[in-house]
A and B are shown apart, each in its own frame.
Chain A
Amino acid sequence: MKRMSPSWNGIVGALVALAGVVPPMLRAQNDVEAATVFLKDGRAFSGRVSAVESDRVLWKLPSLPQPQAFPYDQVDYVEFPTSPEWREAMSFFENGDFEKAAAAFTKISQDLTKATFFPAPGNFASLAKRRLLDCYRQLRRPAEISNLSKTIDWNRLPASERDVTSIVDCWAAVGREQWDVAKAALEKAGPEIGDIDPASAELAYLHGLILTGTGENEEAMIEFGRVYAPDAAANESMAADSMRRTILLMQADPERMPELRALLRLYALLHGNGKLWEDASKPLQKMLAEENASAATPTKPEK
């Protein structure tokens, strides 16, 4: 799976620099109109977009007087100059403010003027939808993912942005509570992610949701464990939600009371600043209060 934009930009920057093309960041500073076209044969050219037509993009290269035409079937994708709106949305996204980022990307995705939309891979309207999907994944909104994914034209995204489709399909199927479809999509997405890659926590989370949906609670708790323990540092909110879901499932199993109590303490400590989530049931709150009372000995400093 492709990681989020920070690493993506980093990779592109490195590649472009190595290929002898002006890195996008520098180019943006020097020439806000400059863009880079990446061809399927591996070549990349920096210049200005002269015109975007239904079947090709016309490219004005600094060294040539006449615009060069690149048919879309030869173009891998185009990296167009970014707009202030795009940069602001990305800033929200990269700072983890996914609510604001989602609102900003929604606005961009709906603007189909030439300012943001080109009928070619790399146009900002399509990219915005793609980023919006990432926002919804971060915000764990499968229903929105389900709705949005139907509207994305994946062919108008750079190829590297398309290989998340399995995981998006999975989210979308979870949003529709189509557990078999979700499971199939998950199996497809799974092998693409390395075992120790924290990105696989998202798969584990989805798997947990699917197993909860199919009533396989024991296995669901196992999957959520992956999210809230080894990969908690990678995604705090997903870890918190996984722990919350595990607690809700575990409370029905009298044999796992010691673990339930441990998780209640951990949730309050790691994710709730001493409390459980807002609508936590009274029995769980009471159990936490009992735990706190039994562990009333003040903790000591580390040194």
Chain B
Amino acid sequence: MVKSVDRKPGTSGRWLAMVSGLALLLSGRGESLAQASTDLDLATAYDKAVAAVDAGKYDEGLAAANAIIDEYGSTAMADFGPVFGHFHFIKGILLIKKENYESAIEAFQTCYEKYDNATLKQAVAGEQLMPNRFRVQALAQWAGCEMALGRFEDAAARYQRVLKEDTGQEPRIDRLEIQVNLAKCFLKSGRTEDARKFLVGQLESEALSVRGKRTIFMALVSDWAPLVSTAEVRDFVARHGDLIRKEELISRHGRNPIFAARAVASFKKSEPARALIWYGLMGHPGAVLQHYRDQITELEARVVEPDLKAQVEEKIGELKTKLPALEQEYVSMMLGVAAAHYQLQSLSGSRAAYQLLADNFPAIEQRPLVLHNLVVCSVNLNRWQEAYEYGTTFFREFPGHELKPAVAHVLVEVMFLQGEYAEALRIAGEVREDMEIGSEARDIPDFVAGASLYHLGRFDEAEIEIAAYLENYPDGKRREMVKFYEGATKVNLFRWSEGARSLDGYLSEYPGAAMRATALYLSGLSHLVLEDWDVTLRRIEELHTAYPDAPEIPGSWNVRGDALTGKGDVDFDPISHAHLEAKRLVEEEGRGDVEVAGYALRQLVTAGANYEKWEEAGKWFDEFMAKYETTSWRTDVIVAALEPLTHLGRKDEARALLESLVNEVGDQSGDPRLDELVGAYIDFLRENYDVPEALEKLHQFPADPSPPPAPLRAWLAMGEIQILKGEDAEKHREAINQAYYRLSALQDGGNLSNYTMVQLARWNLEERHKPEEAEKIYDYILMNRPQGEAVGFALVDTGKILAASGTQHDRDEALQRFHRVLNEVDQPELREEATLGIARVLTTEEKWEEAKGWWETYLEDRSHNLARPEANYEYAVCLENTGRRAEAMKAYVNVYVIHAGHLDWSTRAYLRAAEMRKEDGELVDALKILQDMLKRMGHLEHPGIAEGRKKFNDWRDELVAKGGASKP
């Protein structure tokens, strides 16, 4: 066994055995010695000293040895020869036991120097002198004492001398132990390389046994390796590691504490890779565990005689007691291996080790860390399901652990950052379930939920999540990002005004935000839609100046071009330059995508048409068709190019292109493109052909397939109606009605497009006065085509039908439909009709206060023109019925002054105003109001005017009868 420098020298049991054995030699001489002394028995004294070492009675032993040395020492060499040195040797050993190393050195020095065996060579014949057989051992113990006293240089020199003088005779010294100690002395005295050379020299020596080499190897691991670099350790293990790797498992396992200590020291120096060197040399505790488990299994299965059963069970019990410590060792090693690979970003390796721990050792103290790191590894290896399972295990087992937010963070945010939005959303939804809203742990999951919904295009849901985040996390970790998503979501929901407001707030609040470039672009886009041209241009300007490399740059040039177009007072060149730049960036610098370039050409063709730059528009059209026909702008570009192509003498080509577009959607009755394209086609025919030619083109439409599908047939009939109406509706009434009847015949099964259905319904409503027929068509739209403009028409028209029906239930339904229009439809004229419809129903129901509010709403919007006289009049009625008589009077006057020509409402206003004055007892004033009415309108035929005339006459007679006044 290797003695470390920390241990006391000379305490090895082997020395005692040798010393005891040699006592026999002295004992053999005992007789003659005894003859020389009557007081002291040398052999007895020697035995006593040796026994004292064993018994721990060091003072007794020293007394015995010292007594002999004192008695015979002065002449011992002459009397007994070198063998007397043994007393000094045992004295030295006893002094070591008492940790009196200086005195021990003295004793060993005396043994070694004074009792030199060279004397024997000069002995006379017949003289029975015996050799000092502990000289070299004394030298070794002397060196050991020097080690204990920290005199490593001296000790090293002495150990070298030991190795030189050792002749291999009995009692043998353990040369291996001396060699190891010598190396330790080298190391302790700073001679690291000397130590390595010396020990490695031993390792490579053919003379040394494998067992000896393993001892040397371990000495190097314990004492040399800590002092040298990882590269030196690597080289050493690469050359000699097989000494350990090929050792029998159980023996190898016995060395584990040393390797484990080295691994721990490596971690402390932040060298996980070095730790792996040491782990790789360990006898795998898993293998040892399995070894013992196999033994247990075999023993348990073995059939044994009854009298041996107890022995077998005892053996099984003994083996089982070894297992817990081995399991703990396995866990420690695996934690180290996992951590080392984890720190080195060796993900598969780390994951494997952590997974073994997670699956097989659910009760270990480090389990939260194990699960956390395993989740991190799994996520980074894109093993989402696995990450999810271990992550949820963590949440289930450690709901209050400090690592929980980190696990949640890893699970959801890393997935989010890797673009796995669906997974991130799913897991965020689950992990936050038991987390308190507004808590730190829930911050990231809530952020990820909202942001993932955004990236998944589920903007309605994203908006709700994002709003909740902003409310619940005033100091949230991702507040800045969420503010961006808030604005971007509004933009994607086409809520331009809200989007612009949110994004402008974001730009102002976070001037250095990571998403500023995108925010500038989206803000510019929103303001473009809101027709805030100058704001748009400012946003784009900042984007171009501050973020010239941003991915939004190509698209932003299109936004700039559109804003310049919108301004209306800009020359063609700046507009075309903007769009050409967008195209150039895509084509020459590979930025943006073909959609951006396609859109640029769309706007160039459109601008060319608007500015009557026919040649340029035609050239850009041709370029588009050559390079970008597959983009989503094909239809738009063809429609925009119709006029330029016509001017360029390519009218037939333009018509043929348009016809091909119509054919592409001719069978898709619910597709709004069918309405748009056939509408454009009909306009094209009306603008470029006379009525007979246009009708001929419609009748001979080159349908593909032929005959044309029902939706297209319906549209061709609609086109005929529009062309005929455009020329003279009255003149072609019969032909128009015939076309509507053809439309009606095609109506079943949803063959009609939305536009044609609405037109057919209105024809039924207005021309045929058959609201029930109109309702059938509108019901179909509401049931089967619940999106698009047609729904608005259906809701408004059926709302009006229901409002007129006279029942409370129908009026309630009418109100619902008008409200739906306000919630779902953007078209201003339909929104106006809905507002009007609500106000009318509430007025009918004499809900004056509510009705007043809706009439006010109607009147506040200056673009509402369908029924301003009615609205003003009904508003006055509401005022009157809510007790505001004076205001009502003014309002009535307002009606007949401002809207005098609208006799339905102005005559009512006159009459009611007059009645109010009469009710107030001001008959003369009442008659004056009626007189004013008759003066201004008396020449006209209207029931209101007739009633006014009658009232005037009646009241005038009444006044005369009262004798109150002369005729007004």
A joins B in a complex: yes
Is A225's beta carbon under 8 Å from chain B? yes
Contact of B231 among A11, A14, A229, A299 (CB under 8 A): A299
Contact yes or no, A301 B227, CB < 8 A: yes
Closest CB in chain B relative to A46 CB, distance in Å: 16
Contact (A301, B229) CB under 8 Å given A195-B360, A222-B351, A222-B381? yes
Contact yes or no, B347 A259, CB < 8 A: yes
Closest CB in chain B relative to A5 CB, distance in Å: 11
Complex Cα gap A198–B305 (Å):
34
Q: Which of B278-294 contact A (CB under 8 A)?
A: 279-284, 286-287, 289-291, 293-294
Residues of B within 8 A of A236 (CB): 241, 245, 280
Closest Cβ neighbor of B386 among chain A residues: A222
Contact (A232, B315) CB under 8 Å given A3-B290, A6-B249? no
Closest CB in chain A relative to B311 CB, distance in Å: 6
Residues of B within 8 A of A95 (CB): 246
Sorted nearest first, the 4 A-B pairs with minimum C-beta distance are A225-B348, A229-B349, A42-B303, A273-B238
Is B352's beta carbon under 8 Å from chain A? yes
Is A254's beta carbon under 8 Å from chain B? no
Contact yes or no, B353 A199, CB < 8 A: no
Contact yes or no, B280 A270, CB < 8 A: yes
Contact yes or no, A199 B234, CB < 8 A: no
Is A197's beta carbon under 8 Å from chain B? yes
Is A303's beta carbon under 8 Å from chain B? yes
Contact (A233, B304) CB under 8 Å given A11-B295, A195-B360, A258-B345? no
Contact yes or no, A221 B348, CB < 8 A: yes
Interface string of A255-276 (1 = CB under 8 A from B): 0101100110110011011100
Complex Cα gap A273–B286 (Å):
26
Q: Which of A227-283 contact B (CB under 8 A)?
A: 228-234, 236, 239, 246, 256, 258-259, 262-263, 265-266, 269-270, 272-274
Contact yes or no, B271 A18, CB < 8 A: no
Closest CB in chain A relative to B242 CB, distance in Å: 7
Q: A18-B308, A198-B284, A229-B341 are in contact. List 17 more A-B contacts (CB 8 A).
A: A6-B248, A41-B303, A194-B293, A196-B286, A197-B290, A199-B287, A230-B286, A259-B345, A265-B344, A266-B273, A270-B276, A273-B238, A299-B229, A299-B230, A299-B271, A299-B274, A301-B269
Residues of B within 8 A of A274 (CB): 231, 234-235
Residues of A within 8 A of B346 (CB): 225, 229, 259, 262-263, 266
Residues of B within 8 A of A11 (CB): 294-295, 298
Complex Cα gap A225–B231 (Å):
24
Closest CB in chain A relative to B285 CB, distance in Å: 9
Contact yes or no, B276 A18, CB < 8 A: no
Q: Which of B258-285 contact A (CB under 8 A)?
A: 262, 265-266, 268-269, 271, 273-274, 276-277, 279-284
Identify the interface centre among B283, B299, B349, B350: most chain A CB within 10 Å of its CB: B349
Contact yes or no, A303 B265, CB < 8 A: yes
Residues of B within 8 A of A229 (CB): 337-338, 341, 346, 348-350, 352-353
Identify the interface centre among A19, A95, A266: most chain B CB within 10 Å of its CB: A266
Closest Cβ neighbor of B295 among chain A residues: A11
Q: Which of A9-45 contact B (CB under 8 A)?
A: 10-11, 14-15, 18-20, 41-42
Is A205's beta carbon under 8 Å from chain B? no
Complex Cα gap A61–B928 (Å):
150
Is B312's beta carbon under 8 Å from chain A? yes
Contact yes or no, B302 A15, CB < 8 A: yes
Contact yes or no, B315 A233, CB < 8 A: no
Contact of B280 among A94, A197, A233 (CB under 8 A): A233
Contact yes or no, A18 B315, CB < 8 A: yes
Contact yes or no, A15 B298, CB < 8 A: yes
User: Would you give 5 A-B contacts (Cβ < 8 Å), ordered by A?
Assistant: A195-B359, A222-B351, A225-B348, A233-B281, A302-B266
Residues of A within 8 A of B347 (CB): 225, 256, 259
Contact yes or no, A246 B290, CB < 8 A: no
Complex Cα gap A265–B337 (Å):
16
Closest CB in chain B relative to A90 CB, distance in Å: 12
Question: Please, how many residues of chain B have a CB less than 8 angstroms from a CB on the other chain?
Answer: 73
Closest CB in chain A relative to B822 CB, distance in Å: 50
Is B334's beta carbon under 8 Å from chain A? yes
Residues of A within 8 A of B286 (CB): 196-198, 230-231, 234
Closest CB in chain A relative to B188 CB, distance in Å: 12
Closest CB in chain B relative to A254 CB, distance in Å: 14
Is A96's beta carbon under 8 Å from chain B? yes
Residues of A within 8 A of B284 (CB): 198, 231, 233-234
Contact yes or no, A225 B262, CB < 8 A: no
Contact yes or no, A302 B299, CB < 8 A: no
Closest CB in chain B relative to A235 CB, distance in Å: 9
Closest CB in chain B relative to A101 CB, distance in Å: 12
Residues of B within 8 A of A302 (CB): 225-226, 262, 265-266, 268-269, 271, 274
Q: Which of B227-255 contact A (CB under 8 A)?
A: 227-231, 234-235, 238-239, 241-242, 245-246, 248-249
Q: Which of A178-219 contact B (CB under 8 A)?
A: 194-199, 204, 218
Closest CB in chain A relative to B284 CB, distance in Å: 4
Closest CB in chain B relative to A37 CB, distance in Å: 15
Residues of A within 8 A of B269 (CB): 299-302
Contact of A234 among B227, B238, B287, B341 (CB under 8 A): B287
Complex Cα gap A299–B241 (Å):
20
Contact yes or no, A198 B290, CB < 8 A: yes
Residues of B within 8 A of A84 (CB): none
Complex Cα gap A263–B348 (Å):
10
Residues of B within 8 A of A228 (CB): 349
Closest CB in chain B relative to A271 CB, distance in Å: 8
Contact (A20, B308) CB under 8 Å given A225-B352, A266-B273? yes
Is A298's beta carbon under 8 Å from chain B? yes
Contact of A273 among B225, B235, B294, B345 (CB under 8 A): B235
Contact (A269, B234) CB under 8 Å given A15-B302, A229-B350, A229-B353? yes
Residues of A within 8 A of B356 (CB): 195-196, 230
Contact yes or no, A232 B245, CB < 8 A: no
Closest Cβ neighbor of A8 among chain B residues: B294
Q: Which of A285-303 contact B (CB under 8 A)?
A: 298-303
Closest Cβ neighbor of B227 among chain A residues: A301
Complex Cα gap A221–B382 (Å):
13
Contact yes or no, B302 A42, CB < 8 A: yes
Is A140's beta carbon under 8 Å from chain B? no
Contact yes or no, A94 B248, CB < 8 A: yes
Interface string of B879-903 (1 = CB under 8 A from A): 0000000000000000000000000
Is A7's beta carbon under 8 Å from chain B? yes
Closest Cβ neighbor of A268 among chain B residues: B234
Is A60's beta carbon under 8 Å from chain B? no
Closest CB in chain A relative to B272 CB, distance in Å: 10
Q: Which of B182-233 contact A (CB under 8 A)?
A: 225-231
Closest Cβ neighbor of A225 among chain B residues: B348
Closest CB in chain B relative to A243 CB, distance in Å: 8
Closest CB in chain B relative to A201 CB, distance in Å: 9
Is A224's beta carbon under 8 Å from chain B? yes
